[in-house]
Structure 1
Amino acid sequence: MGFKKNNQSLNNIQGKKGSQFSSQLRGINLERVLVVAIDAAKFFQKALLCNYFGDVIEKPFFFGVDKNGINHLCSLIENAKGQIQAERIFIGVEATGHYYEDIVRELGKRGYGVTIINAATTYEERSSALNWSKTDDLDLYAIAHALIQNKGMENKLPEGIYRRLMTLTRARRNEVRKRALVRVHIRTLMDHIWRDFQGYVEIKNNKPEKKLIFSKFWGKPSLFFLENYPHPSSVLELGIEKLLQLVKEKKLRIKETTIHTLMKVAEQSIVKSKEEVSAELLLLKLAVQDLKRLDENVSILEKEIEEALLETDGRLLLTVPGIGVATAAEFFSELGDISQYEHAGQLIKKAGTNPIIIQSGGTQGFYGRISKQGNKNLRFMVYTVGKCLATHNKDLRPYYEKLKERGKHARKAFIALGNKFIRIAFSMLKHKKPYESKQSEYSIFQEIKKKLIYTKMNTYLNIALAA
């Protein structure tokens, strides 16, 4: 039984994406379809022009990402278009770092639509290309092949508030990662300088118990001593009275018992002399300065992110227990404008977290690994959100625990929960409605209030009402 013509768009094996692609090719001589493959890089961009069957029209050539280079590329496209009397043009570029963005943007200004192709897709195509090609232009052939087979990811760069949030949140994530490395470095240095500063051991009834001098190692009081008195001899030279006076002057808010503990640990610690660890002390001083700078950078970025997020519908995500400002902003920006999507499944495919169904010989199929044919940054956020919800969301944690009981690895369960949240978030953003919790103690106002740091008190209620 055939399908009705007006239902053809609903029955392509690749869904909506395949329907749109096939509608552009239906009834056209495929020799008149121009394919432009672009391999983006920092300095040397390369392109290849061929028809739908892979017949080369313009051999691989280099061009620059400037006005002359883009004009040269466009002139060759137009020449090839006239040469084969092209009725359709498909342009594809691999998402390599951020180098492809200027190409997509400039070609868009000249009226060309560009499909962005995931690096994982071109990797698979490049591997298969080894069977039929032995040239140095495998990347271009892989991009062209992926384009011909409609394996593109998307064809629109983030704009406006989405781009701003994406830039800010990715920068914050980068600063947080650098800060984590600096913190590890500081702990390593303190292992050599004064190991017990990070924690000491008390043995009672032949049972060891770890004790802390400061409840928060990265808090203001601890950082003050790391920066100014990182060696026990320096603390002992000051004495109890001077330490208490110093704490009061610097407004460190340390209990007197903490100072006594610090002195006790300093007296009992076995350490090298200052001269022996002079190199480590210098490195520690530099590392603490780096840490303070990174802390300031993160604070500046988080303030900007909070202000930007509250200007968007992404603030609705703050009503979800377990989703903080930075996570909500990054997740929202990586999702992008959801108005161009009809259902949440398309966003899951955009992330590349959709599981691949493996089936053969009429046997019952099963879900294998995720496809990874999508945006790697969104994929990372799906995992991150799933992990946060599994820990802090009482409504969704049972779903995670159920997956674990069925034998799912924690990472796979996090991704599955992240996919579930994509569906929830899609509905929330589409209908502009807050999260609905089944917990009796849940309050939208309190949920938002505890997450916002830089927003004034009198705006909490307005945001809650807007949500």
Structure 2
Amino acid sequence: MQEFPTPGEIVELGAEAIVQRWKKDVKRARQLVETARSSIGLTEGLPAAKIEIKTLLEQYDMFARQLEEILAEVERLLPQIPGTKEMLTVPGVAVVTLAGFLAEVGDLRGYEHGQQIIRLAGLNLKENSSGKKKGKSSITKRGRARLRALLFRAVVLMVAKNAEFKALHQYFTKRSQNPLKKKQSIVALCGKLIRILHTLGTKQVRYDANDVLGPVREAQLQKTA
């Protein structure tokens, strides 16, 4: 976009010239030119549009550089916090996730158990009821929204990449008694992740898959009994 930001410039240059500058294969360059020919992009006010595109690209480059600097500083500071090395042994928990988690909760030694952090995140359950009628339970959302969102995003990825969380998610959503909906399972696993991080961070022990799969192992034993 820096060299040929408008469809007209792409068509004028042609596929061969784009390949030389773009350093990609001819087929993709030709596809780009054909797309540009059928584009309904601006034909008037192009100088102003090009200035705007240039400005946006410069801002993007600046933000990218700043992000790299912040991540480098996070990677430098994180090892200074006790327990971070152990918490990073959880498959699927990256430096950025852990840094965001600790930024929201502070010193883990200030919590006696993970349930306190679950309440801080607003992930503890409440019962929706009126009078004598009992309703369904839902999370309170009375805690820190950023912490809740960070945990939710992390667990969604872990369900795909962490074998234990994937197994737990399948168990929660497919068990014969009281199966959970997918979102409910993710919320339950957010609490699980909090308790795991609290344990690893305060006791400074490494992640153990056998400790995570308690409900699944118990269900398997009941089936074979």
Same fold (TM over 0.5): yes
In structure 2, the residue matched to 1:239 is: 14
CA change 1:244–1:272 in 2 (3 A) is closer
Number of residue pairs matched by the alignment: 206
1:341 to 2:111 alignment: yes
CA change 1:254–1:399 in 2 (3 A) is same
Task: Name the amino acid aligned to 1:232.
Answer: P
CA contact (8 A) 1:349 1:374 kept: yes
1:154-173 to structure 2, matched below 5 A, reads none
CA contact (8 A) 2:16 2:29 kept: no
* Higher-helix-fraction structure: 2
CA contact (8 A) 1:320 1:435 kept: yes
1:431 to 2:200 alignment: no
Instruction: Identify which of 228, 231, 237 aligns with 2:3.
Output: 228
1:329 to 2:99 alignment: yes
Gaps of 5+ in 1: 1-225, 248-252, 439-467
Deviation at 1:362, TM superposition (A): 9.6
CA change 1:378–1:241 in 2 (3 A) is closer
Task: Name the amino acid aligned to 1:417.
Answer: L
In structure 1, the residue matched to 2:77 is: 308
Cα offsets for 1:367-402 (capped at 9, x unmatched): 622233433333333323332322322211232234
1:254 to 2:12 alignment: no
In structure 2, the residue matched to 1:370 is: 139
Partners of 2:55 and 2:47 lie apart in 1 by 13
Partners of 1:236 and 1:360 lie apart in 2 by 66
Partners of 2:55 and 2:10 lie apart in 1 by 20
SS in 2 for 1:369: strand
In structure 2, the residue matched to 1:284 is: 53
CA contact (8 A) 1:386 1:416 kept: no
CA contact (8 A) 1:314 1:332 kept: no
Task: Name the amino acid aligned to 2:13.
Answer: L
Partners of 2:119 and 2:26 lie apart in 1 by 57
Cα offsets for 1:116-160 (capped at 9, x unmatched): xxxxxxxxxxxxxxxxxxxxxxxxxxxxxxxxxxxxxxxxxxxxx
Partners of 2:158 and 2:86 lie apart in 1 by 16
Partners of 2:103 and 2:155 lie apart in 1 by 17
SS in 1 for 2:193: helix
CA contact (8 A) 2:2 2:54 kept: yes
SS in 1 for 2:88: helix
SS in 2 for 1:433: coil
CA contact (8 A) 1:321 1:393 kept: yes
1:84-163 to structure 2, matched below 5 A, reads none
State TM-score, norm by structure 2.
Answer: 0.75
Pick 1 or 2: higher relative contact order, CA cutoff 8 A, min separation 6.
2
Partners of 1:341 and 1:352 lie apart in 2 by 15
Task: Name the amino acid aligned to 1:334.
Answer: E
Cα offsets for 1:213-246 (capped at 9, x unmatched): xxxxxxxxxxxxx222122321233334433432
Deviation at 1:407, TM superposition (A): 5.9
State TM-score, norm by structure 1.
Answer: 0.39
CA contact (8 A) 1:227 1:288 kept: yes
Give the share of equivalent positions with the same residue, in percent: 25
Partners of 2:184 and 2:112 lie apart in 1 by 26
CA change 1:289–1:407 in 2 (3 A) is farther
Partners of 1:426 and 1:290 lie apart in 2 by 38
Q: CA RMSD in A?
A: 3.1
- Larger Rg computed on CA atoms: 1
1:438-453 to structure 2, matched below 5 A, reads none
